[in-house]
Amino acid sequence: MDLLIKNGTIATGSQVFQADIGVDGCIVTHIGRDVRGPASRVLDAAGKFVLPGGIDAHTHFEMPFMGTYTADDFESGTVAAASGGITTIIDFAMQQKGYSLFDALETWRRKADPKVCVDYALHAVVTELNETTFDEIKRVVDYGVPSFKLYMAYRNEGLLLDDASIYRVMQEAAKYGGLVGLHCENEDLIGHFTSTLLKEGKTGAEYHPKTKPTIVEGEAVRRALALAEYAGANMYVVHTSSRLGREAIRDAQQRGIRAFAETCPHYLVFTDEVYARPDGMNFVMSPPIKKEADRASLWQGLAEGDVKTMGSDHACFTTQQKLIGRDDFTKIPNGVAGTEVIIPILYSQGVREGTISLNRLVQVTSFNPARLFGLWPQKGTIAVGSDADLVIFDPEKKVRLTVDNLHSRIDHSIYEDYTCLGYPAITICRGEIVQENGHFTGKKGRGKFLRRKPHADTRLQL
Ligand SMILES: [Zn+2]
């Protein structure tokens, strides 16, 4: 065999057990108490956990946005991902007005294929619904992209889709087992709060969260749920940031609506006090970070299981790019880095403090996204026959999340003062060691495009 991992403690979405793992080529071929070689390389994982590689279903690499481009491309972004134990990312192919969904998928594949260092898949973002795009929905699912993303906000950026179009996409995608992801914020309320503040001369980054109080997300989530229920669709709320949003999704789930919540690491670590800091602009993203009660509720959702996934919403900008909005917070490019910190933060702050179990960490970082996005059982677990996407996680490794220790291209880290206890020591992607002790050891362009499966019976259960 090519790789033998000895003496590790394996954690999947449902089990924790001691075993060795044998890998041949890209695939796990042996799991057992005493797997013997010979093997080209043997790793001793005594005292360490072996986790399924993380799936970050929410990245924006090399994306044109707010007059500039996100700073990480598919190379630096996926090096960062691999360094944090993420072995699959799902990025968003943004439909440009006047172009088809396939144009966007092709554009994104041209950007990603030569550079991507871990495996990747794409979501199709629908920004304009016309007869061409409507007819494309089935073909996009058949192409291996059974998930769509719709924006209820960002009218000025050309992303907002009206409610009738949202409903129509939901109804059409539902026919083919597709999943519809939504950015839920009420655009009209944001516009009202923004113009009021600007008229009062309030232009600093500290006013950004005031334009998007919790009702802005809460109302939009409820509206999206109502549309999805009527359309009979599976829906996914990206970057859930508030108690109101989370509770609306949880209550809908309890009524049998197939709605799933994602949250992001920054909502679990910070509160909106960060916007008053001198570097407040670096925390400008949408939805903005909210109050302590929201932060606590999202942790509770992870613990209780109604928050299903962790995505990073990795869409970051350098200080120079952030300064575009120095005199007007509405012009600050929205977004932060995060793909590298998902697993370390969930472990340090969640597992170590007893809020979530190690199995839950694996569920929200790997098993659930694999199930929801049609990658399971190739991804999302450690099993004979599955891809050898593995993280050897050292529970005693201490890493401060400074700009120097992280791999994004940006020149700052919002987690500068955050020290993790527990960190991925080695990341293995389809049998290949791509990260060892913070050093990327893979090759640019080695990642593969993954064609994903729709939900066969079209009724998604998790
Ligand atoms: Zn996003």
pTM value?
Answer: 0.98
- Classify the phi-psi angles of 268: left when phi > 0, otherwise alpha if psi is within -120 to 50, otherwise beta: alpha
Find out whether 388 and 462 touch, Cβ atoms under 8 Å: no
Report CA(313)–ligand 1 centroid distance (Å): 5
Residues whose beta carbons lie less than 5 angstroms from ion ligand 1: 313
Report CA(276)–ligand 1 centroid distance (Å): 23
Please say if the pLDDT value at position 445 is more than 70.
Answer: yes
**Residues of the chain with pLDDT > 90: what percent?**
97
Determine whether 327 is exposed, middle or buried from the number of CB atoms within 10 Å of its CB (0-12, 13-18, 19+): exposed
Pair of tokens at residue 147: 């998930």
Which pLDDT band, with edges at 50, 70 and 90, does 131 fall under? confident
7: β partners: none
Report CA(403)–ligand 1 centroid distance (Å): 22
In angstroms, the CA 406 to CA 338 distance is 10
Report CA(71)–ligand 1 centroid distance (Å): 14
* SS3 of residue 7 by DSSP: strand
CA distances 48 to 17, 23, 192, Å, are 12, 18, 52
Report CA(309)–ligand 1 centroid distance (Å): 14
User: Pairing state of beta strands 3-11 and 41-44?
Assistant: parallel
Element (H, E) at 78: helix 74-83
Find out whether 33 and 71 touch, Cβ atoms under 8 Å: no
Phi/psi of residue 182, each to 5°? Answer: -130, 140
Which pLDDT band, with edges at 50, 70 and 90, does 181 fall under? very high
Element (H, E) at 249: helix 243-254
Please say if the pLDDT value at position 458 is more than 60.
Answer: no
> What digits encode the pLDDT tens for the residues 375-389?
999 999 999 999 999
* SS3 of residue 231 by DSSP: helix
Q: Can you tell me which residue has the tokens 């519809």? A: 180
Counting every residue written for the chain, the total comes to 462
**Residues of the chain with pLDDT > 70: what percent?**
98
Interval 155-165 mean pLDDT: 96
448: β partners: none
Please say if the pLDDT value at position 65 is more than 90.
Answer: yes
> What digits encode the pLDDT tens for the residues 185-222?
999 999 999 999 999 999 999 999 999 999 999 999 99
The one-letter code for the residue type at 24 is: D
Phi/psi of residue 26, each to 5°? Answer: -95, -5
Please say if the pLDDT value at position 459 is more than 70.
Answer: no
CA 248 to chain centre: 21
Report CA(57)–ligand 1 centroid distance (Å): 10
The angle formed by the CA atoms of residues 292, 296 and 300, to the nearest 5 degrees, is 170
Please say if the pLDDT value at position 455 is more than 90.
Answer: no
Neighbours of 404 (CB within 10 A): 8
Mean pLDDT of the chain: 97
* SS3 of residue 205 by DSSP: helix
Report CA(133)–ligand 1 centroid distance (Å): 21
Report CA(59)–ligand 1 centroid distance (Å): 7
What is the dihedral angle through the alpha carbons of 115, 368, 126, 111, rounded to the nearest 10 degrees? 0
Write the CB contacts of 98 (distance below 8 Å, at least 6 apart in sequence). Answer: 128
Determine whether 288 is exposed, middle or buried from the number of CB atoms within 10 Å of its CB (0-12, 13-18, 19+): buried
> What digits encode the pLDDT tens for the residues 21-52?
999 999 999 999 999 989 999 999 999 999 99
In angstroms, the CA 148 to CA 350 distance is 30
Report CA(60)–ligand 1 centroid distance (Å): 7
Pair of tokens at residue 326: 């120095």
In angstroms, the CA 18 to CA 7 distance is 7
Report CA(58)–ligand 1 centroid distance (Å): 6
Phi/psi of residue 431, each to 5°? Answer: 85, -10
Cis peptide before 64 (omega within 30 of 0): no
Report CA(336)–ligand 1 centroid distance (Å): 10
Phi/psi of residue 446, each to 5°? Answer: -75, -20
The one-letter code for the residue type at 71 is: A
Please say if the pLDDT value at position 460 is more than 80.
Answer: no
In angstroms, the CA 162 to CA 153 distance is 9
Which pLDDT band, with edges at 50, 70 and 90, does 350 fall under? very high
Report CA(47)–ligand 1 centroid distance (Å): 36
Report CA(24)–ligand 1 centroid distance (Å): 36
> What digits encode the pLDDT tens for the residues 409-428?
999 999 999 999 999 999 99
Report CA(30)–ligand 1 centroid distance (Å): 38
Find out whether 239 and 262 touch, Cβ atoms under 8 Å: yes
